[in-house]
Amino acid sequence: MSAASLFCPSAGFRIMNPMSDQPLVGVVMGSKSDYEVLSAAIEILRALEIPCEARVLSAHRTPDQLFEYVASARGRGLRVLIAGAGGAAHLAGVMAAKTLLPVLAVPIAATPLNGLDSLLSMVQMPKGIPVATLAIGKPGAANAALFAAEILALNDAALYERLAAWRAARAQEVLDAKLPE
């Protein structure tokens, strides 16, 4: 499968909620090797019943296909984009340059610099082209999904309730934690 092709190990090509044909969140990763981290975002989007799609597209290796994807995103109904990449991670910034959809960036530890390279590439955007950068790795991926949910919940009361229930369940897990005697 080429780097530009649709990617989803579970569905073969595309991650979708069967209840809807219309993905609202596009999860883009610079390499298939980023999937383990970005799966933390996809799991939460699924748990919250937010239709999403996942793609492997690289700002450096497949710039033309990335531009095409982002240029068509809003017209295809996408409302939030999540971008995860490692190293000299220009993915989120390039995507943000081509759309007015919110772009949430997830830095990935893919080099001996352990994600600091990716974090700085994503967070140090020049004035005028915003990217919202989350934490390095899986916690950032999970929070990107939750942030996307919060954005979508502004106009979706049912999603707001699912999100509130998800948050309450996490709080309950903390309160129920048992320590060794």
Which residues form the interface with ligand AIR (CB under 6 A)?
30-31, 33-34, 58-61, 85-89, 108, 110
Give the tokens for residue 75.
Answer: 């017209």
Report the nearest approach of ligand AIR to the CB of residue 31 (Å).
3
CB of residue 26 to ligand AIR, shortest distance in Å: 16
> Residue 83 Cβ, how far from ligand AIR at the closest point, in Å?
9
Q: How far apart are CA 37 and CA 141, in angstroms?
A: 7
In the chain, beta strands by DSSP E: 25-29, 52-56, 80-86, 103-108, 132-133
In a 3-state reduction of DSSP, which class is residue 19?
coil
Nearer to ligand AIR, 105 or 142 (CB): 105
Taking the C-alpha atoms of residue 172 and residue 167, their distance in angstroms, rounded to an integer, is 9
Minimum distance from CB of 30 to ligand AIR (Å)? 2
Residue number, 91 or 151, with CB nearest to ligand AIR = 91
Do 46 and 53 meet the contact criterion of CB atoms below 8 Å apart?
Answer: no
- Minimum Å gap between C-beta 70 and ligand AIR is 15
Residues 170 and 142: beta-carbon distance below 8 Å: no
φ/ψ bin of 166: left (φ > 0), alpha (ψ from -120 to 50), beta (otherwise): alpha
Nearer to ligand AIR, 17 or 88 (CB): 88
- Residue 28 or 149: the one with the smaller Cβ distance to ligand AIR is 28
Q: Smaller CB distance to ligand AIR: residue 51 or 137?
A: 137
